[in-house]
Every structure is written in structure tokens, then in C-alpha cells.
Amino acid sequence: MLRFVLKRFLTAIPTLFLIVTISFFLMRIAPGGPFAQEKPLNPVVKANLERLYQLDLPLWQQYLNYLKGLLRLDFGPSFTRPEFTVAELFSTGLPISIQLGATALALALVVGSALGVLAALRQNKPADYAVITLATAGSTIPNFVVAPVFQLVFALSLKWFPVGGWGDGAWVNKVGPILVLTLPQLAIVARLMRGSMIEAMRSHHIRTARAMGLSDWSIVVRHAMRGALMPILSYAGPAAAALLTGSIIVETVFGIPGIGRYFVDAALARDYTIVMGTVIVVAIFTILFNLIVDVLYAVVDPRVRYD
């Protein structure tokens, strides 16, 4: 197992390198630049700015400089926020996005799985229909609808929570964003769990376990759920990478200072270094969580062996 993990870490390096290279050049193909804007700059000033950020160098040289910087863990300065380095922006924003995303993920996995199991065990009964309805609603209503509705109902009418803002991390400010992030994930987890649980309950080993007179509880938790968790795990890997790196909609609507908004804002502003930073962060999270999921497969399913 250890060898497997090590091997995966080593193959991650060329993968990351490829991602960085492709993104670097793709982004430069897009017309415009960080200094093209509604009020155009005086050409002399623009040339000065480009010199300052070394955008006047040939592209291959900029690429080499960027790679050299990466080796020193230097992601460069942000073009649109010159007072902050990309590392500084991410070190304040990423923990916030991770905090919200991880809570949402945990809630979605725990509650979603529980609801899924419940629905499977009560198949075609009211509880099942309730879960299916919730799951359908949760996964089809987009969060740019759910978030403002949450603000209208729970903040403006009921006044239980603030409409927005981070409030220096006060828990009341986190409830809305976390719930809005959780809902669609919870819906998907519940649906997946319901499906795989129904299938598991019909399998031969469960029938055998029943024949052997095991208790219902033991059958569900120790035998059926274990197998039924596999699709959830496959789903949780990429979902974790997406959730922990923030959501532009949730963060913009609730005024949360995470990194989600950089995905779109930086790309539109051609803030090259921030775009590269987000690409690298997402790539690392994706690689890492895929690896974790692969390891967990072996833990959950004894048939999976990596050695």
C-alpha cells in the first residue's frame, strides 16, 4: 500500500507539470491582457507596467521564470492586486473555503448517506418518497436560486442569520453558505446511497446473512452499507476537490472572502498568476482526493488490493 501511495505521488509531479504548462500557454492565447480595460492606458504607461511585471519578455522566458518561481513555491504577484502575492491571497482565502467546503462535505456525506439508507430500507413508502423529492429538488434547483431564497427567508424575514458577510468567522455567518453548499451534494449522495443500498440488500451475501439469522442492524451496517459505500466514495473524491476550493456563487452572494471567486474573476481580468494559482490548487486537491479515495477503496472493499 505504501508503495502504491508513493508511486501515485511521483506520477503526480509530471501530471502537475503538464497541467501548468498547458494552462500557462492556453491562457496567453486569450486576447487582451491584465492591462486592457474600459479606460485604455497610455501606451507608455502600459509598456512600463508590462516591464514591471516582465510581461515584455518572450513568452518562453516568462514560462521558464514562472517554473523557476514555482520550484521556490513562489506563485508570483497578483496583477490585479499588486499589493498581495498569490500566496498571500490564497493563504487568507483558502482556509475559509476549506472550512465551509469541508463542513458541507461532511454534512452531505453523513446526512445524505443516512437519508439514502433510510429511503432504501423503506422503499416505495412515504419516507422514500420524501427523500426522493428532497434529492430531486436539491440537485435541480441551482445554488444561485437557493442562496438568495435563503437570504430572503432566514435573514430578512425571520432574522435568524445575517444576510451576508464573514463577520470575522462568526458561526451565524457560516450557516447560510454551508447549507447552500451542502444541499446539492446531499441530494446526490442520498440518491447514490439509496440506489446502491437497494442493490446491496438484494445481493446474495445479504440473503445468506439473513438466513444465518444475523440481526437487521448488523446486516445493514456491517454488510450492506459497506458495499453500498463504494459509489459514494467514487463521487466524494472529485466533490471534495470542488467543494474545498470554494464556490464563486456562494462566496459572491454571501460576501465570503474565500478563493472561489478567483476562478472566474481572475480569468476575466487576465490576472495570469492568480489563474495559474487556482489551476494548481485545484489540480493538487483533485490528485490528492483521488488518491485518498483509492486508498479508501482498499479499506472498504477487501477485494481491492494494490500490492
Partner 1 sequence: MTLSFKSLLLCSALVLAGTQAFAAGTLNRGNTGDPESLDPHKTSTVQEANILRDLFEGLVAHDANANIMPGAAESWTVSEDGKVYTFKLRADGKWSDGTPVTADDFVFSLRRVVSPETAAEYAYMLAPIVNAEAITAGEKKPEELGVKAIDATTLEVTLNAVTPYFLEMLTHQATYAVSKANVEKFGADFTKPGNLVSNGAFTLTSFVPNDKIVLTKNPLFHDAANVSLDAINYIPTEDRSAAIKRFEAGELDMNDDFPTEQLTDMKAKFGDQVKIGPYLGTYYYVFKTDKAPWDNVELRNAVSMAIDRDYLAEEVWQNTMLPGYSFVPPGIDGFTAQAPEWAALPQIDREDKAAEVLAKLGYGPDNPLKMEIRFNTSENHNNTAVAIQEQLKPLGIEVSLLNTDASTHYAYLEQHGDMDMARAGWIADYKDPENFLALCKTGAGNNYAVYSNAEYDALLAEAAGTADQAARFRLLEQAEAIGVARDQCVVPLMFYSFHSIVSDKVKGWEPNVMDIHPTRFMSKD
Which residues on neighbouring strands pair with residue 85, listed in sequence order? 77
Closest approach, Cβ 81 to partner 1, in A, equals: 6
CB of 306 to partner 1, least distance (A): 41
Q: Does 42 sit near partner 1 (CB under 8 A)?
A: yes
Contact yes or no for 64/72 (Cβ under 8 A): no
Which of 62, 203, 252, 290 lies at the binding interface for partner 1 (CB under 8 A)? 252
257 scored as a contact of partner 1 (CB under 8 A): yes
Give the per-residue contact string, 22-41, with partner 1 (x = CB under 8 A; - = no): --------xxxx-xxxxxxx
- From the number of C-beta atoms within 10 Å of its C-beta (0-12, 13-18, 19+), residue 86 rates as buried
Closest alpha carbon to 282 in 74, 78, 97:
97
Measured from the CB of residue 43, what is the shortest distance to partner 1 in angstroms?
6
Judged by CB under 8 A, the residue of 189, 253, 280, 282 near partner 1 is 253
Determine phi and psi for 17, rounding to 5 degrees: -60, -45
* Total chain residues near partner 1 (CB under 8 A): 50
Of 8, 28, 81, 226, the one binding partner 1 (CB under 8 A) is 81
Summary count for the chain: helices (H), strands (E)? 13, 0
**Phi and psi, residue 57, nearest 5°:** -75, 160
146 contacts partner 1 (rule: CB under 8 A): no
Is 92 a binding residue for partner 1 by CB under 8 A? The answer is: yes
Nearer to partner 1 (CB atom), residue 93 or residue 112: 93
Query: 219: Cβ–Cβ under 8 A, 6 or more apart, which residues?
Result: 206, 209, 210
d(CA 59, CA 50): 13
Please state the closest distance from residue 133 (CB atom) to partner 1, in A. Answer: 28
Give the residue, chosen from 93, 101, 227, 237, that forms a contact with partner 1 under the rule CB under 8 A. 93
Q: Closest by alpha carbon to 186, among 129, 243, 252?
A: 243
Near partner 1 by CB under 8 A: residue from 230, 256, 281, 293: 256
Output the smallest distance, CB 231 to partner 1, in A. 35
> Between residue 165 and residue 224, which ones bind partner 1 under the rule CB under 8 A?
165-166
Of 235, 292, 229, which Cα lies nearest the Cα of 1? 292
Of residues 15, 21, 48, 218, which one binds partner 1 by CB under 8 A? 48
Q: Which is nearer to partner 1, 66 or 150 (CB)?
A: 150
Which residues, 6+ apart, have CB-to-CB distance to 39 below 8 Å?
none
Within a 10 A sphere around the Cβ of 61, how many other Cβ atoms?
11
Spatial CB neighbours of 65, under 8 Å, sequence gap ≥ 6: 54, 57
In angstroms, what is the minimal distance from the CB of 161 to partner 1?
10
Q: From the CB of 75, what's the least distance to partner 1, in Å? A: 15
- Closer to partner 1 by CB, 33 or 238: give it: 33
38: buried, middle or exposed (CB in 10 Å: 19+, 13-18, 0-12)? exposed
Region near partner 1 per CB under 8 A, out of 18-26, 84-92, 130-138, 274-282: 84-92
Residues at the contact surface with partner 1, assessed by CB under 8 A: 30-33, 35-45, 48-49, 51-52, 80-84, 89, 92-93, 148, 151-152, 155-156, 159, 162-166, 251-258, 261, 268-270
